[in-house]
Amino acid sequence: MTTKKKQLFSSTPQGGSGLMPWLGIAAIVILIDQLTKIAIQKTFVFGEEKVITSFFNLVLAYNKGAAFGFLNSQPGWQRYFFTGVAVIAVGFILYMLKRHAGQRLFCWALALIMGGAIGNAIDRLAYGHVVDFLDFHIAAFGHFPAFNIADSAICVGAALFVFDELRRVNRQ
């Protein structure tokens, strides 16, 4: 009896594997994101910084806006706007996951993005801002804006999405 070995990051349809694996990945991202944010909030006070290496610190920072603090100084409407954007994005991602459940790399990308979007939306609803704590810096350039696990998952998901699309285009 032989079994067909499945590739972890295959971008070709393998038959509808369903939504559950992808929802599981998103749930893991949400869990890790929320646990790390709770730990940082219990350990640090706002603005407190702990040097870890010459290029990395932990810091408790809040972001009411979007990436890189975009719209951070607005009076509060962005909380609901970005939560709404996350809800719409999650709905669209669920549709795409159901439609393309067998395209593994594509679905990994979507699941990571969905988990990150939900993780940050939870913060917006619970606190009115996103909790950030990962602070990378280079002496010649200064500090990169602080971010979190959800942001990281979104970035990795976006990179996987681009990689998958480039592979698909190059095959044609």
Sorting pLDDT into bands at 50, 70 and 90, what band is 169? confident
Fill in the DSSP letter of residue 147: B
- 3-state class of 22 per DSSP? helix
Candidates 33, 123, 135, 151; catalytic one: 151
Greater confidence, 97 or 12? 97
Candidates 33, 123, 132, 135; catalytic one: 132
Tell me how far apart the alpha carbons of residues 147 and 29 are, in angstroms, rounded to a whole number: 14
- 3-state class of 162 per DSSP? helix
Task: Choose among 81, 53, 67: nearest CA to 146.
Answer: 67
Mean pLDDT of 35-49: 94
Mean pLDDT of 103-127: 95
Tell me how far apart the alpha carbons of residues 129 and 89 are, in angstroms, rounded to a whole number: 19
Tell me how far apart the alpha carbons of residues 142 and 133 are, in angstroms, rounded to a whole number: 16
Sorting pLDDT into bands at 50, 70 and 90, what band is 11? very low
Q: Which of 18-27, 32-41, 46-55, 63-72 has the highest mean pLDDT?
A: 32-41
Please indicate whether residue 132 is annotated as part of the active site.
Answer: yes
Mean pLDDT of the residues in the chain: 86
* Total-model pTM: 0.83
Please indicate whether residue 135 is annotated as part of the active site.
Answer: no
Q: Which residues pair with 49 in a beta bridge?
A: 59
